[in-house]
Amino acid sequence: MTGPDDGAGGAGMRRIVGPVRAIGEAMVEMAPVEGGLYRRGFAGDTFNTIWHLARWSGGAVEAGFVTRVGMDAVSAAFLAEMARDGLAVAGVSRDPALRMGLYVIELEGVERSFHYWRDTSAARHLADDPAALAAALAGAGLVHLSGITLAILSPAARETLFAALAEVRRGGGVVSFDPNIRLRLWASVAEMRDCMARMLEVTDIALPSLDDERTHFGDAVAEATVARMARAGVGEVVVKDGPAAVTLWQGGDTVTRATPAVTGIRDTTGAGDAFNAGYLAARVAGGGGLAAVRAGQAMAATVLRHHGARATKEAVAAMPAVTAFL
């Protein structure tokens, strides 16, 4: 079985040049820690990804998050933390009436479940203003978003987002998409499937999880997910499968890489988001497909050893440089 070039790209791989942006919802996270207590943090699938990418890149990449938050003190604390951690905040708009959503993590062993309060989240309106969204994405070399990003928007705002992503691609930018399907956020299965199909038409790099694709599209194996997304025009597909092997398809070549065993797991929250961060960080740094998969697995392993959806800054700093995986 042949595989993509493990060097600086690979046949057909889109080169990424320019700032990196993620679009989506950041929420207040209440994560359990020792002694029955909870730690307040900020998390959200695409925010987790861009935060880890930015921290691991060590300032070598201009990374920013596009969302909408409130005018309250908690929202201000989120913006201040973003800025301290090296993320661009120009793409974050403020809402005088709404606030950030909140979720609580409940752990059983290392497996997690979530309780959400997000109906009045300001992030639901992040794409209401076409001009502001276009300005936030102007010049981006990579834009990353997820199915949750799509699900929280109104139908009109989704159309605005699709148009903005098409414009990013016309300008030479690359669009990365993790379907991350949460059916309870959608009005119907039909709406979800229609939006997923529309999104794949403007996607360059797809980062699905096999469990989601099996549940909602009937894909028994990763190769079925690859085939469906390739037919939609996606050029690079990376299928995650928890602790099982990762399947990488690019330019007609498929390769699988076993996921190394991880010891000391404390919480599985955010592992897929972290994989996305490592994979995209390596691609932004010029790495090929297998190098990016290795980087994704390393970042996911780091997050698995921490409570909550994000590792500590110290833990990310202690990892080998992303360039070590190229």
Query: Is 253 assigned a catalytic role?
Result: no
Residue 29 CA to residue 9 CA, distance in Å, equals 36
Tokens of 80: 């201040």
CB of 142 within 8 A of CB of 129?
no
SS3 state of residue 132: helix
Residue 261 CA to residue 171 CA, distance in Å, equals 40
Please identify which of the residues 6, 204, 267, 273 carries the catalytic annotation.
273
SS3 state of residue 300: helix
Strand ranges inside the chain, DSSP E: 20-23, 27-32, 38-43, 63-70, 92-95, 102-108, 111-117, 142-146, 174-178, 205-206, 236-239, 246-250, 253-257
Catalytic positions are 273
